[in-house]
Chain A
């Protein structure tokens, strides 16, 4: 049995806005094993990116972690002071590949300068040694090592995304969070980046959380999948089970909404209505106003995540 590298329990992260408290991440629990890719999916505004940033210990203001625990490699990070987080956790233990690689690099510094910064800061390396390491990582992601001397504007979108991936891996973190790493890329480049991530997973045994709203991309890489709705995980399990025997009506609807490339679909399904306001989420099951099977109990009581099969959990009163 592979060891657990990330353990999240009852995590709560709320945004304290002038309009009220937005419960963006509400009682989320899951585990990530070494060498495993967990896919995190849901519509925009369901809290998946908020969860990613919370795991990094950096909820976007006015967000605050209200409760729960996040253990990376056994070490609790909720409640650690910012300087400890920065020195010992972030990028060393857990790192992130950001959405929109185009804007994540500083245009006035060379790629090398930006890549060696964490090595000098965290590992106290000399510049020469750090550059060597940066070149090694660039080769690993399929780029030529001499790119360390180039500036971001000289690279294409796909190359920049590779640089971002190399930078996220350079301190050999236990966990990598990839937040929509392929949006804004063309299909061919997207497929190349997914291939790269598969290769890295295999060669380095990466443990990764892959966040996207696109269930097709998620299927390409995830071992397990978690579906989020309105700040909660409503279904989680082995990816084959999620794709072929989805238990929650929301998951079923999401999957039926994808047009297939080689299949004739008469009519795509869609979910009427829109995701709820997280300041005042609906009572009971948060999906009930949009659920075609909603019953009385759904409006009154909130369903818990229930084991319905081996490694397959869902939160729904129908089960």
Chain B
């Protein structure tokens, strides 16, 4: 098998919580929000790797760590075999950012409202010194807009972001990410703020760009249906850890971890005859805080299959349950 484009090894990010003077004087130990707590995965060329989970599970923090917008507490990130966590100087980081781009969730706030679309797209070119002359840059900008089907580009370059619809704006955001010809794109909930009809349009566009331009994506989402449609791989995160990972169809059609099962049971489906059935959700309570992570398996207080003396004491290992299908559960295969 080919070398992965992106390799993440035992990645950790702890955010410290302020103790206050009194706490420090009393000698209270420092406390941390363990947002990402030992995450490893690999992404191969021209594939889409989805990180799925509820809010607060650490999926966006993982994305930001990959973007080097945050420094990890521990762990390694490799892009094309090169250790990214070692990059320290401005130049090195700048060169890295050219290869890794991000698409944000909210197309309404991810663009400077005082910029014209032309400026939005020219900025990355100027920062990275691409295109000697204005004419060259204009050529690149027009090409990028055509790629995301903002046509004819002449009509749009002079507009300001507020003059575009949400779908068009998100397409400009994609063009902005693509204009540097990146190896890797982190897409953080790129369609969750959009209407269903526009959502499909953006997903189709991202898929097409993957096939045509060989883009590789880290797709961060809470929506399992779009993850199944758009991704090759799905990793389900819970409280900072990947609890299940595998090919998208396998994870959705044959989920092993009780949390994945609960998430899947919760997804609404457009099947009206089920409207009078109250769906049993195999999950208890609510997500605990990432400050006081439960001992043993971190899902055990909510798990309906919890075995006393095992799940609440011992931390499970991520095991390869079947080829390419990884699960972190003591009871994998027994429930």
Contact = CB atoms under 8 A, between A and B. Distances in A.
Q: Do the two chains bind?
A: yes
**B contact patch SS:** helix
A304 interface: no
Interface string B225-267: 1101110000000000000000001001100000000111111
Nearest to A184: B55
A198 B229 contact: no
Nearest to A250: B197
Contact of A257 (B197, B228, B263, B266): B197
B332 interface: no
Given A257-B199, A258-B196, A216 B252 contact: no
Contact of A261 (B54, B55, B262, B269): B269
Given A156-B286, A215-B196, A254-B197, A191 B274 contact: no
Contacts of A239: 272, 275
A254 B275 contact: no
Given A255-B270, A268-B203, A221 B196 contact: no
Given A191-B266, A219-B275, A261 B224 contact: yes
Interface in A192-230: 192, 194-195, 198-199, 202, 213-223, 225
Interface in A227-251: 239-240, 242-244
B197 A191 contact: no
Contacts of B225: 216, 258-261
A118 B270 CA distance: 37
| Chain B contact patch, size range | 35 or more
Contacts of B265: 191
Contacts of A272: 201
Contacts of B90: none
B54 A258 contact: no
Nearest to A220: B268
A120 interface: no
Among all A-B residue pairs, the 10 with the closest Cβ atoms: A191-B266, A268-B200, A270-B201, A259-B229, A257-B200, A270-B200, A239-B272, A186-B54, A216-B268, A259-B225
Interface of B: 54-55, 165-168, 195-201, 203-204, 222-226, 228-230, 249, 252-253, 262-276, 278-279, 281, 283, 286
Given A187-B266, A260-B229, 19 more contacts: A44-B195, A186-B222, A187-B267, A188-B262, A188-B266, A191-B265, A191-B266, A213-B195, A216-B270, A218-B270, A220-B269, A223-B275, A257-B197, A258-B270, A259-B230, A261-B225, A262-B253, A268-B203, A269-B200
